[in-house]
Every structure is written in C-alpha cells, then in structure tokens.
Amino acid sequence: MIFNKTLLALFVSTSILLTGCGSDSDNDDTNPTPTTPSEPEDNTVQSEATLVSEDANIAVFGNVESANFSETQLKSGKGVLLLDDKAVNAVGFALEAGGETQDLNQFASENLADFITLLQENNATVNVLVNRVSTNTQGQVSNVTLDIDFASAENVTKVRDLLLAFLNGGSSVSTPAKVTLAENKLRLNLSFWVVGDTGFIWANTYAAKDATAVNKVYGDLNLASALTSNVALSVKSATEKFTQNAQGSNAVDILWNIDSSGSMGEEQANLADGASQFFTTLNQAGIDYRLAVNTQDKADCKQLRTLTDTTTKFIDKNTPDALTEWASLASPGTYDSSNETGFYCTREADLTGFDRENAKNLVVFVSDEPENETAEENIYISSDYMARDFANYKNYFVGTGFTYFAIVGTGNYVRNTFSDPANNYYSTPSENCSGEGGSAVGGGHFKEIAKLTGGSSASICADASSWTVVFDEIIKAASALASQFALKQVPIPSTLQVKVAGKDVARDTAHQNGFDLVYSVDGATVVFYGDALPTANQKVDVSYDYLQQ
C-alpha cells in the first residue's frame, strides 16, 4: 500500500481532533487537572517522505505528485513502485531486489550487464553515457545513464516492461498504460544501492529529447538521492556555515588524454562539436579552470599540445576565442601510432606550467582501443623499460588523488597482471561497440580507473548529440572539486535551503543561476552557477534534513 504525506497528516490530525473532544462524562469541571504533555515523536522516514510503498519497501522524497505513482507485484509477491507521468512522458519503477546482496559493485555490474544484453536481444543499440558511484542518505549508489536506440519508434513503456519481465522470471508484469509516447531514441536512468544485504533498483525511461524536462522533475530520483528503503530511521536537521575563499573560486586543472590513431576521426569531431555547450556551462560554474591536451602516442605524448600561438599549453577562462582553440587542441589528428598507451602518456606527461599547486586535478581518457601496454604488454620505450601492468598503474593513479574519467569502448575485461590471460578483444562481442559516434574495442582498464577514483565512464560509440551528457558529468565533477561547500551529512535534497550573504538562493538543476547538489563517492557538495556564485569572503548558510544512521 502507498501512503503519502497528506494522508499521514490526515491520520495525525484526526487523532488529535478526537482527543480534543474529551469523553462523554457529564462532569463539567472547568478546571480539569492538567496532564503532562507527551514528548513529541521524532520525525521519521515515514512521516517526512512524500510517499511510502510498504510493498516495494521504498520511500520517495521531494516535490513529486503522488498521483503519478502506483503499485504492482511480481509473482514472488514482492511489490513494485511504478511511476507513470504523462506530463513529461516518463515511466519508471523502484523495487527491492530478490536474494541477498552485500557488494554494490557486483550487484550493479551484474544487473547492468543483464539489462544491456536484454535490450540488445530486443534489437536496441545501447550506449553507456554515465557510469559512476555517488552517495545517497543510506550509502553508496551506482548511477548509470543509457542511450537506447531502436530502429523504429517504440513506446517508452517498452523498456520498463522488458526489465520488469526479466526481473519477474520472464513473465510480464501488469503496468498502467498512461504514457503512450513512441520514439526511437530513448534514455534510461538506473540507480542501484544496497542496504545491509538487500539491493534496491530504480529505473526511469523517457525519450532522449525530453531529458531536460524529466530531470527537472525526477533528477533526484534518477540519482536515488531522494529515495530510501522504508526504513525505521529518524530524520534530523543540520545547519552548516561557510565563508567563500578569498579568491571567490577554486582551481581545477583538466588534462584530456586523447587517442590520435587512425580510427579516431569521428570521436575527435565529437569532442570539438560539443565545445560550445561545454564552455558555456563551464564558465557559468565559475570554475578557475585550465584545459590541456596530450596524446596517447608514446613517441610524443610527454609534451602538452600547444594553442595556435604555438607556445601556450592550456585554455583558461581568459583565453581569446576559446572555442576555436579547443577545436584545434582536441583534434590532434589521426596519424600517430596505433599502439595507444594512455596510461604511460598520462603518467609521464610534463605538466610544467599547466598544473597548479593549489588546483584539484581531473583527467579524461579518450580512446577507441584497449590500453595497449596493460592489456597486451605492448610498448617499447627503450631497451631498459619494462612494461607496467594494470596493477602497477592502478596503484599509481589511485595514489595521485586525481579524479579520472573515461570516454572509451564498452568492454569490461581487466587484465590485472601480465600473468592473467590476455583477451581477444576483437572477437569478443561484449568488448566491441558500434554507433553513430564510431566503433570501439576494449576500454575496461580505463573504466576501472575512473570507477576507483570517483569519476565516470561513457561509451565513445554514442552519437554526438549524447556527448553533452558526458560533458555535463565532467563539469559537475569539476564544480564539486572546486567547491568549498562539502556537506558533513548527505541531505534529503528537497529539504536543502541555501543563503548567500543572508539572501535565499534558489536551486537550479539547469545550472544557469542558482545552486545545485553534486553527489560523489565521498558525499554531497553544494555548487553555485551564474549570478548566484558567492564572491570572496561572503557567508554561505546551508540547512537541510538527513537520515540519522
């Protein structure tokens, strides 16, 4: 049964009303003996959630319409909370998964692999746009965004029906038919989280063209930041006070490590084509950024590429004609070695003059091939250089404290040491992808580094129009790294109130003017955009509710 906050409030007020009516005693004593008032009960998930599905073991927070939610049931008897919003053409579900689950990575990876295979078997082309770990009020969450392309228009409910039937042992599940939109390009947000030994899944499907409208309403649900299990925990309040640093912003240095081999023409074009929106959002975030590029060709990758003046090695917010410079910088050509060594080139890059001592660092790997040194033990630097295996690089990259992103193939195989078997990537279907963005092989090593360092990975095969999602993830990560406003608790997002210099600031999930929350593996951070950016030494007050664990 679904309970919403209004219904719960009605129950409470009715109880108070009945108590206030007194008894049917004839005693008209006008001075009754006073009674000691009972202590107020703590606010709980059940009293503060917008709605609670007891059958699905899910609580939903935030400004969403309860009327858009309903319930159904799997043949196991487990309940499923359903979302059907005709206004934005979004259909979703949330449920408690069957069986015991203790490892989030395994739970998320296995379900994601099953879901992608299922969609591909139903004639869909699937590309991962986001695959990262964040945090909600109950712990870590695996967030995934998929692009799903069908050859012809399909109802947005098809994806939900396929996933629920799979989770129901192959039997279809009864769902409403409220949303009737059909499109050939769909998007699916997935979130996986584990509480104790119980796994939970949220899935939301919509037309890709409606992504902005859907995320304005359901963005917090899509990250599972506004979802919990129906747990008996108290909801507490917190207030934190900050002072913007003296510079008024923080520094982030972003190195793009780009494959410049012969197959990278389409992918480099996609990097250049997304520049306009990328720079607009980057500047609105008020980040003191630097962007530099090196290649994955071991012969010349130690040196950063230069701008058109042949001297400057990075773009920053003061660079004249930055869009043109980026188009050139991000297009190193396709004439370099086909032996891509992104790890070596990132580790050995000379960052003199680019890397600032006080800056946070973010690295983006871009390649359509496996990382050759670690995957195939294929590299020659000199007679005394011994190839490094993945375990070696993993320890190094994690130790840098940098955040890494990967725009690469869809492969997942990781060869940890050279004693592990090599993978025949080209003959393994799961290690290959092909789409409007190009074709790619491998990618597992790059993706693993991104996951281990709090970054995200995306399919390089996605079409150009979807790369904006990838760019937005990079900018959000950079914004969080630059921000001074990391919160001590993970908030219920709808309860967040922010003041700058005593004035209320509105939340703006479109990242134009206002604040937003960015969730990472370490927690939640408040970031500001546009005119809402605090100036040097301004006071920032943040209040919110959270679950007391």
What pTM value is reported for the model? 0.90
DSSP state of 231: -
* Tokens found for residue 77: 């008897």
What was the pLDDT predicted at 281? 86
**In this structure, which amino acid lies at residue 14?**
T
CA 459 to CA 230: how far, in whole Å?
Answer: 35
Q: Identify the CA nearest to 156 among candidates 72, 95, 84.
A: 84
For the chain, the first-to-last Cα distance in angstroms comes to 25
Contact 452, 397 (CB under 8 A): yes
Q: Which residues pair with 162 in a beta bridge?
A: none
Q: What is the residue type of 118?
A: L
Residue type at 337?
S
Q: Are 196 and 148 in contact (CB under 8 A)?
A: no
Q: What is the pLDDT of residue 14?
A: 34
The rounded average pLDDT for each run of 10 residues, N- to C-terminus, in the chain (549 residues) is 62 33 40 41 88 97 97 96 98 92 92 97 96 96 98 97 98 96 98 96 98 97 97 94 80 95 84 81 90 94 96 96 91 76 97 94 96 91 92 98 96 96 88 88 97 96 90 94 95 97 96 95 95 93 94
pLDDT at 192: 98
For residue 247, what pLDDT is reported? 67
d(Cα 498, Cα 544) in Å, to the nearest integer?
9
CA dist., res. 104 & res. 198, Å (int): 10
From the list 452, 344, 458, 373, the residue with the least C-alpha distance to 408 is: 458
pLDDT computed for residue 12 by the predictor: 39
3-state secondary structure of 489: coil
- pLDDT score at 18: 27
> Considering all CA atoms of the chain, what is the largest pairwise distance in Å, rounded to the nearest integer?
105
What are the two backbone dihedrals, phi and then psi, of residue 273, each rounded to the nearest 5 degrees? -65, -30
Q: Return the sign of the alpha-carbon dihedral for residues 12, 15, 19, 21.
A: positive
Phi, psi of 259 (to 5 degrees): -60, 130
Lookup: tokens for 428: 């393994």
Q: At what angle do helices 265-273 and 275-284 cross, to 10 degrees?
A: 40
Cα 516 to chain centroid, rounded: 14
